[in-house]
Amino acid sequence: MRLALLHANQEFVSNILASLMDSGHVVHAFREEQDLLRDIGRESFDLLLIDGTLFGAGFRRFLRRLWTLAGNGVALMFINCEDSETRLAEAFALGADDFILRGVGGREITARVDAVLRRRHPAHYRRDVRLECQPYSFDLEARTLHLLDTEIALTDKEFDLAVFLFQNQGRVFSRGHLLDALWGGQSLSLTRTVDTHVSRIRKKLMINGENGYRLVSAYGSGYRLEKHNEAWVSPLLTVELGGGAEQVRASAAMHGVGYAAP
């Protein structure tokens, strides 16, 4: 998953980066608080790792601002912390999910990162064979998607993107986050690739508001899949995707069902 690491010591960071990356995480390291604030205002992360040696005057104010910019769904862990009950209590009061003492090695830190993320994002760690988000049904083994009873043809990357968004409904993902998660952290110059794939699955899955979901742009930097309850497709309605929007609209009218145009 995608992590942001704020640290004060390069040697300390080197000791844990390899372990985190070996576990499959993408880690963006920062030395300065302002650099992290700048990036988190336009990028999304699953977890923030904060070096406990940075506790000091003004740190609470910094964390409040960080928390505001990060939004919902982001976990927070303090690492490399002094053995202090006062610091521990303060960290949890600030919203920490874990507090790791100085001297703990990279393997344990990675295991505890995974434990926090497993609680926060269980779908990422489960090995489900199906994902049901009516009227959409994903077969994760056969890698097929049905809208009601109609199979929708998707490329491998379109399927991966659709599953990722449906597993994380309501969360905002920056283009960089989607690149890290689905394209292996390739160059940010490929952000147009993300836009193209989002446009394709929005059209193929008809999720501009119809069928109970919308895939919307968020703050000009990314995307969010959200439930949309005003427009829906009746489970009695057969949708023939080959006919396009006009055929769906005509069929919906015949059945007395509301239809929102893409």
Strand extents, DSSP E, the chain: 2-6, 26-30, 47-51, 75-81, 98-101, 130-133, 136-139, 144-147, 150-152, 172-174, 213-218, 222-227
**pLDDT mean values, one per 10 residues, the chain (262 residues):** 89 84 92 90 92 80 85 87 89 90 92 94 86 94 94 96 94 92 74 90 88 85 83 45 46 42 45
3-state helix, strand, coil in the chain (%, to 5): 45, 25, 35
Buried b (16+ CB within 10 A) or exposed e, 153-165: ebeeebbbbbbbb
- Provide the pLDDT for residue 243: 47
Sorted by where each starts, the structural domains of the chain and their CATH numbers stand as 2-124 (3.40.50.2300), 130-255 (1.10.10.10)
- Provide the pLDDT for residue 187: 61
Which pTM value belongs to this model? 0.79
